[in-house]
Amino acid sequence: MTLDVYVCNFGADNSTRAHALLDALVAAFAPAHAERHALARGARTPVAPA
Tell me the mean pLDDT per 10 residues along the chain, length 50. 81 86 93 88 64
pTM for the predicted model, two decimal places: 0.67
Concatenated DSSP letters for 19-35? HHHHHHHHHHH--SS--
Domain boundaries, the chain: 1-50
- Res 43: pLDDT: 58
Round to whole Å and give the CA distance between 31 and 23: 12
- Mean of all residue pLDDT scores within the chain: 82
pLDDT at residue 7, as a whole number:
79
